[in-house]
Structure 1
Amino acid sequence: MILIWNKFKDILDLIVFKHSIFALPFLLSSMLVASKIANDSAWFGFKALILGIICAISARNFAMASNRLMDEDIDLNNPRCKDRPNINGRIGKKSMWIFIILNALIFIFCSYLINNLAFILSFPVLFILAFYSAFKRFSSFVHLVLGFCLGLAPIAGSIVVLGEIHIFSIFLCLGVTFWTAGFDLLYSLQDMEYDKKAGLYSIPSRFGSKTTLLFSAFFHILAVCFWFIFVFVSPLGNLALMGVIISALILFFEHKIVRKNFSHINKAFFTLNGYLSIIFFIFIWVDLLWN
């Protein structure tokens, strides 16, 4: 029993399960808005809720495990990655392959149960999720590709409830894409020197910390702009606008913290962005209930 529990903890460590908080609130926000459009009610039903959450978790598990496996040669000599389960031997390649395949099958099966569009798109989505980290080997667009991976969550929310990609979900997707790319740039500052030695194409390694901070700020400004557009094209009101404004303030403080001291990057990365996604969701939810 202890062995099973330790293996379970190793898997959670492998996929950094606590970071699931970033995308899940945006999936649910999208589903709430889609339900309001379709049924004039924010409640989309237990089937959509359960299948949507299972798809989100299995897709993220698949993506994280796939990229841990793909990046082993890079992470092996990175001091920051030495305690990852696949690097220090706690999880072997065979176990990782089983985990990857199992989560891919769960994602495809649940997508099939949702609707035809979800099932058809499940295959290209898995392809994108599996290979986004490869971009760091040849392109500085890796941060935006990662952002798009999380940005797929609101697109998925629209598909689950409406069976189509509604315009509101596109703007929410763009907001999440640039928000994620912006905080990933800040997070990547930790690996700037290592990425230079390894010949990787992250923006910090190619352009330095000052330019990275400018890119990150610009991406976050774009994120806030797209979130405002999302509110205006959705059946949302002033409370949702307030949620976007508060999100913008959180991003402002995130940049202030990181610029003051790079050692606070982890705090800014997880704590503030975790709060942002939850607050964003709560304001969308309350706005729809209020209306």
Structure 2
Amino acid sequence: MNAQTLDARTLDAPVPDAPRGNIVDTYAPPSWRPYLRLARIDRPIGWWLLLLPCWWSAALASAVDRSGPPGIADLALFWIGAVAMRGAGSTYNDIVDRDLDRQVERTRGRPIPSGQVSARQAAVFLAAQCLVGLAVLLCFNGFAIVAGFASLGFVAIYPFMKRITSWPQAVLGLAFAWGGLMGWAAHFGSLAWPPVFLYVAAIAWTMGYDTVYAIQDLEDDVLAGIRSTARMFGAHAREAVGALYLIAIVAAGAAVIGTHLGPMAHLGLLAFAAHLLWQVRTLRKADGAVALRLFRSNRDAGLLFFAGLVLEAVLRTA
């Protein structure tokens, strides 16, 4: 079904977990909205969470190299790449999950299951987003290009994991956290233990916040047979999220301590840890509204850590 032939009320209906007043629902022409929703432009938290490990890694590399704060051009490239590849990953996920999405209240209004966009149209849109991501990746050094391509395997298998394992969040972490390696790779043209620790931190962080996110869908997931860590942990979801966040803090601390960074980096790490602790204390199992708010707050948690690393990079060149 072509988007132009749809009832205007269908096109105007916001996605349930999109922030009110988002740029797509407020400003985008009606014919663009299904595609922008496929790319999750109406829900920017996703590209923030993909972007932040890239920025952490770039800032860590700059601080270690004493070369000043990370360059604006590199940060902008990571931003464009994160928006494009988060959109591509979401579009691919929606193509694969279109039948499951029809069975879940929160997702049945997405463009493909609701008939706003066909699977073929979504596939063409997916290819266009991948080309943007490729153009960004080719701006970096050869090692970073190879490293970027290496992440695609995790991206490819992720949508299928919820069907066969209770740990789909782990595979999402392996894919979403890849930026923890990329910032360092783009700066040095190689890898070392500090970005590996950042990668581990970002994996655990992703698993934690996506478990929080999955709490929204517990009832529907049971009916649809969708597996998740939120279902597996059940009544112990809060404790499990706390354990995952603790792993993230320890691994991020290993990256900071192992590179002998100074007080600003430690302050940023402390602020990150305090934010995650607040989330765990606030989380109430099966409260979807609280879960969504806590999930979105991870942008602020990641920015706090990034700010500390940037300030450290600035001080180390003063």
Structure 2 match to 1:279? 304
CA distance in 2, matches of 1:130, 1:254: 30
Matched, 1:137 2:163: yes
Question: Equivalent pairs: percent with the same residue?
Answer: 23
Larger % of helix: which?
A: 1
Q: Please show how residues 73-222 of structure 1 align to structure 2 within 5 Å.
A: 73-208=99-234, 210-222=235-247
Cα RMSD (Å): 2.2
Evaluate the alpha carbon distance shift between residue 261 and residue 255 of structure 1 in structure 2; reply closer, same or farther with a 3 A threshold: farther
Structure 2 match to 1:34? 61
Structure 2 match to 1:238? 263
Deviates more, 1:155-164 or 1:9-18: 9-18
CA distance in 2, matches of 1:260, 1:62: 31
Residue 235 of structure 1: how far off its partner (Å): 4.9
CA distance in 1, matches of 2:286, 2:169: 22
Match of 1:48 among 55, 74, 78: 74
Match of 1:22 among 35, 38, 49: 49
Residue 83 of structure 1: how far off its partner (Å): 2.3
Residue 261 of structure 1: how far off its partner (Å): 7.2
Letter in 2 for 1:136: K
Residue 207 of structure 1: how far off its partner (Å): 4.2
Unaligned runs of 5+ in 1: none
Evaluate the alpha carbon distance shift between residue 143 and residue 261 of structure 1 in structure 2; reply closer, same or farther with a 3 A threshold: closer
Deviation per CA, 1:251-284, whole angstroms, max 9, x where unpaired?
12212222277131111110x2111111111111
Residue 50 of structure 1: how far off its partner (Å): 4.1
Contact 2:215/2:286 (8 A) holds in 1: no
Matched, 1:265 2:282: no
Letter in 2 for 1:103: Q
Letter in 1 for 2:201: G
Contact 1:171/1:227 (8 A) holds in 2: yes
Deviation per CA, 1:193-248, whole angstroms, max 9, x where unpaired?
2222222221233342x122222111011111111111112352112111111111
Letter in 2 for 1:89: G
Question: What is the aligned length?
Answer: 286
Contact 1:193/1:205 (8 A) holds in 2: no
Match of 1:250 among 275, 281, 292: 275
Contact 1:13/1:84 (8 A) holds in 2: yes
Contact 1:75/1:87 (8 A) holds in 2: yes
Contact 2:256/2:266 (8 A) holds in 1: yes
Residue 136 of structure 1: how far off its partner (Å): 0.9
Contact 1:250/1:276 (8 A) holds in 2: yes
Contact 1:138/1:201 (8 A) holds in 2: yes
Deviation per CA, 1:144-171, whole angstroms, max 9, x where unpaired?
1112222101211111111112221111
Q: Secondary structure at the match of 2:29?
A: helix
Letter in 2 for 1:236: L
CA distance in 2, matches of 1:236, 1:134: 40
CA distance in 1, matches of 2:176, 2:244: 15
Residue 45 of structure 1: how far off its partner (Å): 4.1
CA distance in 2, matches of 1:42, 1:126: 31
Residue 22 of structure 1: how far off its partner (Å): 1.7
Normalising by structure 2, what TM-score?
Answer: 0.82
Evaluate the alpha carbon distance shift between residue 29 and residue 7 of structure 1 in structure 2; reply closer, same or farther with a 3 A threshold: farther
Contact 2:51/2:78 (8 A) holds in 1: no
Matched, 1:227 2:252: yes
Evaluate the alpha carbon distance shift between residue 224 and residue 282 of structure 1 in structure 2; reply closer, same or farther with a 3 A threshold: same
Normalising by structure 1, what TM-score?
Answer: 0.89
Contact 1:135/1:142 (8 A) holds in 2: yes
Contact 1:82/1:88 (8 A) holds in 2: yes
CA distance in 2, matches of 1:273, 1:98: 32
Contact 1:192/1:205 (8 A) holds in 2: yes
Contact 1:179/1:220 (8 A) holds in 2: yes
Deviation per CA, 1:116-143, whole angstroms, max 9, x where unpaired?
2233333332232132121111112211
CA distance in 1, matches of 2:39, 2:77: 20
CA distance in 1, matches of 2:124, 2:194: 37
CA distance in 1, matches of 2:315, 2:189: 26
